[in-house]
Chain A
Amino acid sequence: SQTIHQWPATLVQPVGSPLSLECTVEGTSNPNLYWYRQAAGRGLQLLFYSVGIGQISSEVPQNLSASRPQDRQFILSSKKLLLSDSGFYLCAWSVLSNTGELFFGEGSRLTVL
């Protein structure tokens, strides 16, 4: 069966510090991978998606970047965090040739102080 893991689950970082959130998927090959952000009490905002290794599409301009160094690994990064980067970050995957149903990880809560 397929599983998705993201870590860390919780992170408190000072403004200006770097960020690295990692996500890995097991049990499937060549998945589409996604990073979403959810601010407190708000909806889901798609940040990045990837259809293959090294292929990243950015949905909104921001202080963040994403990388996909391996087929089932997706990394969300920042060189210098802003207060507005605080939120709940969700990694998700979907299967190619499917309807687009997403399978989400458990999320990473980032607080920037």
Chain B
Amino acid sequence: GESVGLHLPTLSVQEGDNSIINCAYSNSASDYFIWYKQESGKGPQFIIDIRSNMDKRQGQRVTVLLNKTVKHLSLQIAATQPGDSAVYFCAESTGANSKLTFGKGITLSVRP
């Protein structure tokens, strides 16, 4: 995914609502996907990952969905909290020893 040259889109949600952050990828050979969360002034932190042999994986308050048919990845955050406000990046790789390719990133803003 292209990750430079464009300002990041913003998703604004009400505190307590569920958030859905979407990501499209283009490489049909990608078989590993990961979501990162980046708080202001900090490095990205791992949230959750999924391999291509799965279509859904759940963590604590987060769920990642993978639709390989349309090359679409989404991150669902349940009961969004102010601490969830951050930039979220999806990334993909084609497996062992390959570099991650990052998506554009989306800013999640949580309204109190």
Residues of A within 8 A of B (CB): 32, 34, 39, 41-46, 49, 88, 90, 92, 94, 96-107, 109
Contacts and interface: CB of A to CB of B under 8 A. Distances in A.
B7 A100 contact: no
Q: Which interface residue of A34, A39, A41 has the most chain B CB atoms within 10 A?
A: A41
26 contacts: A42-B4, A42-B6, A42-B105, A43-B4, A43-B8, A43-B103, A43-B105, A44-B89, A44-B105, A45-B3, A45-B4, A46-B99, A46-B102, A88-B41, A97-B96, A98-B96, A98-B97, A99-B95, A100-B32, A100-B95, A101-B100, A102-B44, A103-B46, A104-B43, A107-B41, A107-B42
Nearest to A107: B43
B98 A43 contact: no
Contacts of A92: 43
Given A42-B7, A43-B89, A44-B105, A100 B97 contact: yes
Secondary structure dominating the interface of A: loop
Interface of B: 2-8, 32, 34, 36, 41-46, 49, 51, 89, 91, 93, 95-100, 102-105
A107 B49 CA distance: 22
A99 B94 CA distance: 8
Contact of A99 (B6, B49, B102): B49
Contacts, number: 76
Contacts of B3: 42-45
Contacts of B103: 43
A99 B96 CA distance: 5
A70 to B, nearest CB: 21
Contacts of B44: 44, 90, 102, 104
Given A43-B105, A106-B42, A106-B43, A49 B99 contact: yes
